[in-house]
Amino acid sequence: MKVLVATHPAFTAHATGLSHPERPARLTAARAGTADAPVDIVEFSPSEAELELLAGVHLVDYVQSIKRFCAAGGGQLDPDTVVGVDSWEAALRAAAAGPDAANLLERGVADVAFLPIRPPGHHALEDRAMGFCIFNNVAVTARFLAASGNRVAIVDWDVHHGNGTQEMFLMDPEVLYVSLHEFPAYPGSGWVDEIGLGPAAGTTVNFPMPVGTGGDVYRASFERVVLPILSAFKPDWLLVSAGYDAHDADPLAGLSLLESDYAAMGSALRGLVGPGKTILFLEGGYNLKAIQGCVAATLSGLAAVPVPDETSRPVSGSRSWRALEFVVEVQQRHWQVV
């Protein structure tokens, strides 16, 4: 399997400060994970996003305010989100990485794209930076693809709910948003009754999972709900907000996934769309060893190379299984799930 991988020095030049968890070393770990995976790597350098591309999901005034803020030396955009002078270029290239990858995949250069980019994107709102995110990279790409008539499915397995992405497509029936996340947790949204509005009712699907949930419940969630909904939705493109902070070793969250669970999710997503129609975006993940192992496992799964289960695996409690039953019950109003 050929994997298109984004690379540019700007992504590591985005400086967040010495003690910030969203740090450049995360990309070194993610790149090491791509190198470890049993795949062929094709590298590309993303361009800088034009204003028109960003304006698909962001307010022009917001984009310009970020440009001015970075040029003036940067600082804190919110209590978690820090930018410096170099962050503007990083944010532009991170936002263009998805559309650029889509164009390259259309030309047949690879089977799948994996984008180890910073800053991440899924918390960014149309007019506000949030949770380490400046521009919503996955949402920019979904809008870009939907604008030419494509149906787009976004699967978000970052441990945090992608509130920005959900909000941007809450009323859009052509873009499906599915998120599995810890709940309650930052940013506070992503309850099971957030299902989309108006004609888009049913095209937002949330799995709010209690602390301690492990890969057994995630695998069952894919089998019983995520895959049947994706198959019924029939997307042309599949975008993945691939955060690695649901891993057991992550310092910022409390779920208990292991590497083989990411391989299982990667494998489950194989074949849902045609070849060259899947793009994965790095979102969170703050344990470097876990990032490296999970990126390699995800790509192994997508390449159909088996990753054996760990000998000792966390077992989810009854609260996690009940949370899944509740999701099934709510989703049965919109989809054929059992």
Catalytic residues: 123
- Residue 200 has what DSSP assignment? G
Nearest to 117 by CA among 251, 5, 4: 5
**By CB under 5 A, how many residues form the interface with Zn ion?**
5
> CA–CA separation, 132 vs 331, rounded Å?
31
Q: Which is nearer to Zn ion, 245 or 259 (CB)?
A: 245
Residue span binding Zn ion (CB under 5 A) among the ranges 59-67, 92-100, 152-160, 233-241: 152-160
**CB of 255 vs Zn ion, minimal distance in Å:** 11
**CB of 243 vs Zn ion, minimal distance in Å:** 4
For residue 158, state whether it binds Zn ion (rule: CB under 5 A): yes
Dihedral of CA atoms 289, 293, 298, 299 in degrees, nearest 10, equals 120
Give all strands of the β-sheet with 204-209 in edge-to-edge order. Answer: 40-44, 2-6, 112-115, 278-282, 237-242, 152-156, 175-182, 204-209
**CB of 7 vs Zn ion, minimal distance in Å:** 22
Select from 119, 266, 284, 301 the one that contacts Zn ion (CB under 5 A): 284
Cis peptide before 187 (omega within 30 of 0): yes
Q: Which is nearer to Zn ion, 243 or 293 (CB)?
A: 243
Q: Which is nearer to Zn ion, 194 or 245 (CB)?
A: 245
- Sequence-distant (6+) residues with CB within 8 A of 279 are 98, 101, 102, 105, 112, 113, 114, 115, 141, 237, 238, 239, 240
> CA–CA separation, 75 vs 98, rounded Å?
27
Q: Which is nearer to Zn ion, 74 or 243 (CB)?
A: 243
Q: Which is nearer to Zn ion, 119 or 243 (CB)?
A: 243
Residue span binding Zn ion (CB under 5 A) among the ranges 105-113, 174-182, 281-289, 302-310: 281-289
For residue 160, state whether it binds Zn ion (rule: CB under 5 A): yes
**CB of 28 vs Zn ion, minimal distance in Å:** 19
Describe the crossing of helices 60-71 and 87-106 by its angle, rounded to 10 degrees.
130
**CB of 122 vs Zn ion, minimal distance in Å:** 8
Q: How many CB atoms lie within 10 A of CB 40?
A: 11
Within 215-274, the residues that bind Zn ion by CB under 5 A are 243, 245
For residue 162, state whether it binds Zn ion (rule: CB under 5 A): no
Residue least distant from Zn ion (Cβ): 284
Q: Which residues here bind Zn ion, judged by CB under 5 A?
A: 158, 160, 243, 245, 284
